[in-house]
Amino acid sequence: MQAFLEYVVKGLVDQPGAVTVTPVAKDDLTVYELRMDPKDVARVIGRQGTTINAIRTLMLVGSAKLGKRCVVEIVEDKPVESGPAR
Amino acid sequence: MSSAQSKIILAELLKHLGFDATVEEHALEEGPLLEVKTEDAGRLIGRKGQTLVALQYLTNRLLFQQDQQAPKVLIDVANYRSQARDTLIAKAKEAAEKVRRWGDIVELEPLNAFDRFIVHHALKDDPNVETHSVEVDGTNKKAVLLRPKRL
């Protein structure tokens, strides 16, 4: 499942080298922490979250096939300069 | 070339998701169709087809990123889309018959743009009925309104 996430996200962004996926497993729940170049975040989320929701839908299906559950979170470590745009 | 690209992308996605599947490519009027053959079709379609929608959306996003000229692909699993399309056309024709016989105005349920296109297209040569899309409160989908054609 981590390979799926990396394949999709790296295929969407301008800076695939900056993409990292950190799985945090707890029982049958795995949280995938997703980090990337701040400029690429918008592209991975998509308009009204379409892209990230499609990714989550498929991640859930893939995990369910293995009898597991998962959560995909985008982590922004550094605050974006001068705060959010809106 | 580009449709071969989309086939590779889809096969890659399916493999990473743990689906044992093969992908066949067909040329349709509306564009290329990728047909997925797998034992686990139900899981890949999802409730109300939402998994299939997500899969098609992501495939097209990844394809666009590789080649902005590439035509968008349709994805079908176990004839789910073609069956849904047939059901929709049957429903549209049934509503049109009601309009023809009783002169009623019939409003179908709210549909997305692609499904509305199918309905309009199915009835465009019907001599008795005209179709319009109307806004519906509480959803961003529109409904198709069928009414007798004024001569």
**Is residue B52 within a helix (H) or strand (E), and if so which, with residue range?**
helix B50-66
Using CB atoms, which residue from B9, B57, B65 is nearest to A54? B57
Residue that terminates a domain, selected from B31, B63, B78? B78
Up-side HSE of residue A53: CA atoms within 13 Å toward CB? Answer: 8
Segment B1-56, tens digit of pLDDT: 456 899 999 999 999 999 999 999 999 877 899 999 999 999 999 998 999 999 99
Q: Which residues of A touch B58 (CB under 8 A)?
A: 8, 51, 54-55, 58
Give the pLDDT confidence score for residue B1 in this predicted structure: 47
Q: For chain A, what is the mean pLDDT?
A: 91
Domain that holds residue B28: 3-78
CA-based nearest residue to B146, from B93, B114, B99:
B99
Residue that terminates a domain, selected from B28, B51, B78? B78
Contacts for A22 with CB less than 8 Å, ≥ 6 apart:
A32, A33, A35
Q: In this structure, what CATH number is given to the domain that contains residue B17?
A: 3.30.300.20
B106 and B144 both lie in a single domain: yes
Q: Mean per-residue pLDDT for B62-91?
A: 93
Please state the domain count of chain B: 2
B25 and B53 both lie in a single domain: yes
Q: What is the model's pTM?
A: 0.81
Q: Which residues of B touch A65 (CB under 8 A)?
A: 17-19, 40, 43
B37 and B103 both lie in a single domain: no
Q: What radius of gyration, in Å, describes the C-alpha atoms of chain B?
A: 18
Give the pLDDT confidence score for residue B30 in this predicted structure: 72
Give the pLDDT confidence score for residue A85 in this predicted structure: 58
B72 and B130 both lie in a single domain: no
Using CB atoms, which residue from B18, B53, B58 is nearest to A66? B18
**Contact at 8 Å (CB) between A4 and A62?**
yes
Cα angle for residues A78, A83, A85 (degrees, 5° grid): 120
Predicted confidence band of residue A84 (pLDDT cuts 50, 70, 90): low
Segment B87-112, tens digit of pLDDT: 999 999 999 999 999 988 999 999 98
CA-based nearest residue to B82, from B112, B59, B52:
B52
B8 and B70 both lie in a single domain: yes
Check residue A81 and report its DSSP letter: T
